[in-house]
A and B are shown apart, each in its own frame.
Chain A
Amino acid sequence: MRGNDLKQAWQRMYTMIGKEENPFRDRIVETFSEDGLGNLSFNDFVDMFSALCETSPRELKTIYAFKIYDFNRDSFICKEDLRKTLNKLTKGDLTPEEVTLVCDKSIEEADLDGDSKLSFSDFENMISKAPDFLSNFHVRI
């Protein structure tokens, strides 16, 4: 599936499954597409839903959540990634100082090895204690 008809098919599917409103929809598609460009094969499609569905195990969701939030795909969630995530979440409503504060605080809380970015083990450690993660991080067809 390529290019334009993909886009149309996606529009229809997004409305169906209600992901139109999801601020992370582009990231989700990029994460699961094998060529990294946003083109999804059928296998990728199935992959996406099997990882995000209700019965998928916590560890799997953690792995994919990490990939989704890692915007520059360097296997670390650095400050820039955090800033992008935050801006998508608040639709730019926070001032830059507030954004910086939140990102700094978040790295301070979760970073364990002191490299001022979140590696997968930091992320996993932090998410494993989160009460809402499983209930918020799934989609339904």
Chain B
Amino acid sequence: MLKEAVEEKKKLVQGLRGKPWPMKKKLVTLRESQEFVEKYEGALGKGKGRKLYAYKVMMSKKWMKFQRDFENFKTACIPWEMKIKEIESHFGSSVASYFIFLRWMYGINMILFCLTFGLVMVPEALMGRPYGTIPRKTVPRAEAPSAMDFAVLWDFGGYAQYSVLFYGYYNNQRAIGWLKFRMPLSYFLVGVGTVAYSYMVVIRTMARNANESGVGDDNSFNFSWKIFTSWDYLIGNPETADNKFASITTSFKEAILEEQESRKDDNIHLTRFLRVLANFLVLCCLAGSGYLIYFVVRRSQKFALEGLETHTWWERNEVNMVMSLLGMFCPMLFDVISALENYHPRVALQWQLGRIFALFLGNLYTFIIALMDEINLKREEEKIIKFNITTWEASLYNATGSENSTAPPVTFHPADVPRGPCWETMVGQEFVRLIISDTMTTYITLLIGDFLRAVLVRFLNYCWCWDLEAGMGAFYAPCLPALNVLRLHVSMYLQCWAVMCCNVPQERVFKASGSNNFYMAMLLVILFLSTLPAIYTIVTIPPSFDCGPFSGKKRMFDVIQETLESDFPAWFSKVFSYASNPGLVLPFILLMVLAIYYLQSTSKSYKEANVDLKKKLQTQNEENKRKNKLAALKAQTDLEEARAATQTAERQKNINASLQRQHAEEEEDLGSSQRKNGRPPPSVRHQDGRPPATRAPVPRTLHPDTHRSLGYLPGGGFPQQREPRMHRVPSLQRH
């Protein structure tokens, strides 16, 4: 009994926060409950168990306190929490949601960075052969004088190129250091792992969003939601508030218009034509930008052949600048074109984002196609160089002059060895340069005041195009995740500063970010498309013969095969070879396809069941409404009847009362006249003997000796009359 009471008090204390009581009441209740619990809790343990019980209670209290402190600590650790909250309180939750999204991306990139840094860059730096020991790790003699120049380093040549930052530095030794760290295997697996991790994170977020938002019933309470939930209580900035008022008004007007269906129907053809025209213009834009990029890449290849020093800075960095500028101006163009289309703002935003995405994808793919040409060129070069190397080595042997079996170790400086062209490093370098120039243009436009409004629109876009580029290039340049992390870090501060100090409230209030599956789906598609080129190159192109961890192999994924053969016990590779048998793999794929089909159809049937239930609920609600209306009507009619009945009863009573008064007066006259005669009025004694409460209905006929008794009848009749009234009232209350 006591234990239950204590438990109840504890529950009360825990649930106190959610109760809508005024503070004073809450505080008083809290104090009372706490005193109660303290007083009786100790008494629960008896005898020997008491100490143990008290100890347990104390430990659980300490544990709760520790948990609370830990929660506080964790919250304090979240990076940029204060900044984001400040922005939120000025500009509302939509702008803040963009920054929350940025922070989420930062978290993911941080993890990717830790993976590549910890498992690829650090082992090679610590345990691999140091700089200068083997040819691939040394700056060639020809480039050595300029290797330290800032211009060269900024371009990621020179010492930057021959370092752990790029693919080419890595040695293909199977196991390095005393830990026997499998470097090539690790490189390959980390590459695959980063992609897999990114996919997993995006899909997990999508699943979580789908769970939370339910089936997404957008329309059942449209107006009510607009009235009660559209004001953002966080907005404190007058300009933002004005904008918010304006956007609320606009959204109401739109909803009203849709409700009234006053859209003119005869313009439907014009609208369709305009939309087709707009799409055509957009396609022209995309094609134009693709061609421009291709042209510029070709030109830069020509420049490279002629020697880079003869050209101006612009001509050297033409490709990157053009791509960045296109990325800046084309979205604005799309914005203008979309004015033709006359869509609902949310739909228009999705079209806009889709087009921007297509723009960036198109640009990057064109860039890659142009790069492929260069890769092929380099591979041709490789063959020539291989031939050159053999002749060079032969000449070296001849030069030293020593002969036959015991040839002395040919000592030559690694810097002198003719180097094969390393297309992977080149690819990595190109992507890194692209990302850097993109970043620079973003920051510079942020700092220049005029473009702020456009910049705010482009916030979203840039986030994704970074991911695209990083995704594509990360395999060939392990430094890319690191670069991304750095970039996001700086962006966070820079954009926070820009938003706060330039105080530009956004006109379009869109909710960016992870809470919406549309954006997540786009991110997924971007991921997929950005890893596609990398996968293609891994699978089809043989690695360069003298640079990188896979040199010497026919294909990069041969490293897996090699590991299986040498590092795992024999039976494992046998099992694996059975498992990779097409006869087994194909049925497995078939099974997965069937499973997907099954899951898809069950989810469809669940959705339909959901919709059915909703409809049922709605009809039930309407039924209830109807029933309640009927009941209310019935209750009303009952009330009226009862009222009418009491009115008639009152009237009756009044009539009886007046009649009785009349007869009482007559009695008086009679009595007084009888007294005059000397006879005591017999009726008085008669009446006293008669029982006062007669339940008989009021007689209309009046007897002479019951005149006085009539006086009682209204009194006696009263309870009778009151009863029907009381009888009625409970029925009203029941309704």
A residues neighboring B (CB under 8 Å): 17-24, 34, 43-44, 46-47, 50-52, 56-57, 59-60, 63-65, 69, 82, 85-86, 89-91, 93-94, 98, 101-102, 105-106, 109-115, 123, 126-127, 129-133, 135-140
A127–B229 touching, CB < 8 Å: yes
A140–B89 touching, CB < 8 Å: yes
Q: Does chain A have a CB within 8 A of B90? A: yes
Contact of A109 among B222, B253, B626 (CB under 8 A): B222
Which A residues touch B253, using CB under 8 A? 94, 98
Give the CA-CA distance A109 to B20 in the complex, in Å. Answer: 27
B233–A57 touching, CB < 8 Å: no
Closest chain B residue, CB of each to CB of A131: B213
Contact of A89 among B24, B230, B234, B260 (CB under 8 A): B230
B625 to chain A, nearest CB (A): 4
Contact A59:B238 (CB < 8 A) given known A106-B223, A106-B227? no
Closest chain B residue, CB of each to CB of A93: B249
Q: Does chain A have a CB within 8 A of B720? A: no
Give the CA-CA distance A93 to B678 in the complex, in Å. Answer: 94
Which A residues touch B229, using CB under 8 A? 127, 130, 132-133, 136-137
B252–A94 touching, CB < 8 Å: yes
Give the CA-CA distance A130 to B621 in the complex, in Å. Answer: 19
The 9 closest A-B pairs by CB, nearest first: A18-B236, A21-B241, A43-B23, A114-B625, A106-B223, A105-B223, A63-B20, A47-B23, A90-B249
Which B residues touch A65, using CB under 8 A? 228
Which B residues touch A91, using CB under 8 A? 245, 249
Which A residues touch B227, using CB under 8 A? 82, 85-86, 89, 102, 106
A57–B17 touching, CB < 8 Å: yes
Give the CA-CA distance A138 to B231 in the complex, in Å. Answer: 10
Give the CA-CA distance A101 to B255 in the complex, in Å. Answer: 11
Which A residues touch B18, using CB under 8 A? 56-57, 59-60
Give the CA-CA distance A23 to B231 in the complex, in Å. Answer: 9
A21–B237 touching, CB < 8 Å: yes
Closest chain B residue, CB of each to CB of A48: B23
Q: Does chain A have a CB within 8 A of B396? A: no
Closest chain A residue, CB of each to CB of B255: A102
A112–B621 touching, CB < 8 Å: yes
Q: Does chain A have a CB within 8 A of B93? A: yes
Q: Does chain A have a CB within 8 A of B220? A: yes
Give the CA-CA distance A130 to B227 in the complex, in Å. Answer: 11
B231–A22 touching, CB < 8 Å: yes
Which A residues touch B228, using CB under 8 A? 65, 69, 85, 123, 126-127, 130, 133
Residues of B493-536 contacting chain A, CB below 8 A:
none
B237–A113 touching, CB < 8 Å: no
B284 to chain A, nearest CB (A): 38
Which B residues touch A63, using CB under 8 A? 20
Which B residues touch A114, using CB under 8 A? 625-626, 628-629, 632
B224–A139 touching, CB < 8 Å: no
Encode B14-56 as 1/0 by CB contact (under 8 A) with A: 0001111011100100000000000000000000000000000
Contact A136:B221 (CB < 8 A) given known A57-B18, A98-B252, A102-B252? no
A137–B230 touching, CB < 8 Å: no
A136–B93 touching, CB < 8 Å: yes
Q: 23 interchain pairs (CB within 8 A)?
A: A17-B89, A19-B236, A21-B238, A22-B233, A24-B233, A34-B22, A43-B22, A43-B24, A50-B23, A51-B20, A56-B17, A63-B20, A69-B228, A82-B227, A86-B227, A89-B230, A90-B252, A110-B224, A113-B628, A115-B632, A123-B228, A131-B213, A133-B228
B519 to chain A, nearest CB (A): 15
Give the CA-CA distance A69 to B19 in the complex, in Å. Answer: 19
Contact A105:B259 (CB < 8 A) given known A43-B23, A89-B245, A113-B624? yes
Which B residues touch A111, using CB under 8 A? 625
Give the CA-CA distance A17 to B227 in the complex, in Å. Answer: 23
Which A residues touch B650, using CB under 8 A? none
B236–A17 touching, CB < 8 Å: yes
B251 to chain A, nearest CB (A): 10
Which B residues touch A64, using CB under 8 A? 20
Closest chain B residue, CB of each to CB of A62: B20
Contact of B221 among A19, A69, A110, A139 (CB under 8 A): A110
Give the CA-CA distance A58 to B629 in the complex, in Å. Answer: 31
Give the CA-CA distance A92 to B166 in the complex, in Å. Answer: 63
B426 to chain A, nearest CB (A): 47
Q: Does chain A have a CB within 8 A of B85? A: yes
Interface centre among A19, A21, A130, by most B CB within 10 Å? A21
Give the CA-CA distance A83 to B114 in the complex, in Å. Answer: 56
B15 to chain A, nearest CB (A): 9
Give the CA-CA distance A65 to B226 in the complex, in Å. Answer: 14
Extra 17 A-B pairs, beta carbons < 8 Å, given A101-B256, A109-B221, A132-B229: A24-B233, A43-B23, A57-B17, A85-B227, A85-B228, A86-B227, A89-B249, A90-B245, A94-B249, A94-B253, A114-B629, A126-B228, A127-B228, A129-B217, A129-B221, A136-B231, A136-B232
Q: Does chain A have a CB within 8 A of B88? A: yes
Contact A102:B236 (CB < 8 A) given known A23-B231, A65-B228, A113-B624? no
Which B residues touch A133, using CB under 8 A? 228-229
Contact A60:B249 (CB < 8 A) given known A18-B237, A106-B227, A129-B221? no
Give the CA-CA distance A98 to B621 in the complex, in Å. Answer: 27
Contact of B225 among A89, A93, A115, A132 (CB under 8 A): A132
A21–B236 touching, CB < 8 Å: yes
B89–A136 touching, CB < 8 Å: no
Q: Does chain A have a CB within 8 A of B248? A: yes
Closest chain B residue, CB of each to CB of A133: B229
Which A residues touch B642, using CB under 8 A? none
Which A residues touch B226, using CB under 8 A? 102
Give the CA-CA distance A5 to B445 in the complex, in Å. Answer: 47
Which B residues touch A51, using CB under 8 A? 20
Closest chain B residue, CB of each to CB of A98: B256
Contact A18:B230 (CB < 8 A) given known A102-B256, A126-B221? no
Give the CA-CA distance A77 to B515 in the complex, in Å. Answer: 31
B532 to chain A, nearest CB (A): 35
Q: Does chain A have a CB within 8 A of B321? A: no
Which A residues touch B221, using CB under 8 A? 109-110, 126, 129-130
A90–B85 touching, CB < 8 Å: no
Closest chain A residue, CB of each to CB of B620: A112
A58 to chain B, nearest CB (A): 9
Give the CA-CA distance A112 to B227 in the complex, in Å. Answer: 18
Which B residues touch A89, using CB under 8 A? 227, 230-231, 245, 248-249
Which B residues touch A105, using CB under 8 A? 222-223, 259
Contact of B88 among A21, A50, A132, A140 (CB under 8 A): A140
Contact of A47 among B22, B223, B236, B248 (CB under 8 A): B22
Closest chain B residue, CB of each to CB of A82: B227
A136–B248 touching, CB < 8 Å: no
